[in-house]
Amino acid sequence: MKKSNNILLQFSFAILFTISSATSAYDNKHFLRCFVQNSKHPIGSGVISTPKGSSYSSILDFYAQNLRFTLPKTPKPVAIITPENESQIQTSIYCSKKHGLQMRILSGGHDFEGSSLVAYVPFFVLNMFNFRSISIDPKSRTAWVGSAATLGETYYSISQINSSFAFPAGYWPTVAMGGHLSGGGYGPLVRKYGLAADNVVDARIIDANGRVLDRKSMGEDLFWAIRGGTGASFGVILAYKIKIVEVSKKVTAFSVKRTLEENATKLVHKWQFVAPKMPEDLIISLTLTSVHSNQTGKRTIQAKFISVFQGGVDRLITLMQQQFPELGLTREDCIELSWVQYFAYHLGLPIESTSKILQSRVTPLPKDYFKTKSDFVQQPIPEEGLEKIWNLLLKIDSPPGRMEWTPLGARMAEIQESEIPFPHRAGNIFLVFKTIEWNGTDTKLMEERFAWIRELHGLMGQYVDNNPRGAYANYRDLDLGVNNIVGKISVEQARIWGGSYFKNNFDRLVEVKTLVDPEDYFRNEQSIPPLSSH
């Protein structure tokens, strides 16, 4: 297993270096001339950015949330198109088809494998920055949200209408709605209202033929596919119409840390039985990492239990005493705050800065180089399994590896696997996010960090269903398999990674792709292939 991973990494580097030269040698003048000549409206000064332009590097650096994709050897786009209107998107599709360019669609830049910013053939980036309007209808409790609007901007706008209004999406404020919703999207309301994609009621999209479609004109099959099946496989998402849900005016939160010296192993073991069965108004997430112990001075494991409850502190304390008394939660551990303030609290940021954090498009924490993986767990991991995980977490430092465990159950167990492409419903007790970061561009260091997270992933494989092993599409992981860079994409080849993300829904996604994009214009390393792919 280790040998095959090393070969894959070496092959990836060889491909990257070879094709980086090919992309840089591409003459973009024919594509740009076509774009200018066929545009129906005057082109503003910020629409076209080229490698020689002043804004080109700043755009790429701003949106690259993972610094792995800012390295000099990383393939760069021949141009960045930041459309001001829908017709410019249509023109970019027409001209890129004519001149043999792949399109990569950028809304927030949080793709963990950089697929919105990087390609291994000549490509351009369609930067959706201008499509970030938010239009809220309080009467129907719906909102149209542009694909580049961030979660933070959306939360803030909704809260300004009514502090009891919310949308059940993710924790990270600078993630854009387009990518988040098209892959699923989960957050602190997942146990009460399901995924973000479960709460989409309409959408606007431009397909491979340049047609602007809404739910009625695109049909239910395509509408099904772009809510959890990755929108960039099927078209350019312009906007989603979302359902606004109701939350308590005041919620109660806590963040409690326990180390191995404070019985963390038994607490984490008990958490697996308790957290997925709590009432839907309560979510207790878990973050695991290694820290220096204040008691021994040596490295130890820290388990952070971070929670938000749709109710008051008295009811929360009662629930915890009944269901999870081992944690020893006290009133002093709890804080009452507004719903939007919880997002700052969850990230460990001052709640007084909530408005600024939500409205800013600048990531609230420093960027770094990182690699991630995911799992869905069906049975509690025994204590001896947890101790094996601790041993791996203790092996690496500066910065350490981290795991985030999110309990499912409640509403997530009630929705059918086939309702949208995201299939990980009943039977899954929690989602695991695994990440490793590093500082610097040293290749050996990166290889060591890759090896570590692959070892952790291999260990976790002993405790999850492997038929197929589940993974979350929004935590894209190219280790699961990739499409051919050029030439025909085999559906069976794509099933290797597609089965992990979509299970039995993969075949329906292929059918939709075959119907709406048979020539496979919308293509990346893990895009859905059509049956007739060439």
Any idea which residues carry the catalytic annotation? 475
* φ/ψ (deg, to 5) at 240: -120, 145
Greatest Cα pair distance, the chain, in angstroms, is 70
CA angle, 147 then 367 then 258, to 5°: 105
The residue count of the chain comes to 534
CA atoms of 435 and 401, how far apart (whole Å): 6
Sign of the Cα torsion 216, 217, 221, 223 reads: negative
At residue 16, φ and ψ (nearest 5 deg) are: -60, -45
Q: How far apart are CA 171 and CA 207, in angstroms?
A: 30
C-alpha–C-alpha distance, residues 393 and 377, integer Å: 19
DSSP assignment letter at 528: P
Alpha helices (runs of H) in 250-365, residue ranges in sequence order = 264-274, 313-323, 341-346, 354-359
Identify which of 182, 345, 141 has the alpha carbon closest to the alpha carbon of residue 250: 345
DSSP string, 138-196: TTTTEEEEETT-BHHHHHHHHHHH-TTEE----S-TTSBHHHHHHH----TTHHHH--S
Helices 506-516, 491-502: crossing angle, 10 deg rounding: 120
Do residues 14 and 119 lie in contact, with contact meaning Cβ atoms separated by under 8 Å?
no
Give the three-state DSSP class for 106: strand
* DSSP secondary structure letters along 383-396: HHHHHHHHHHHTT-
**102 and 109 in contact (C-beta within 8 Å)?**
no
Q: Answer for the pair 154, 145: CB distance below 8 angstroms, yes or no.
A: yes
Distance CA 110, CA 116 (A): 8
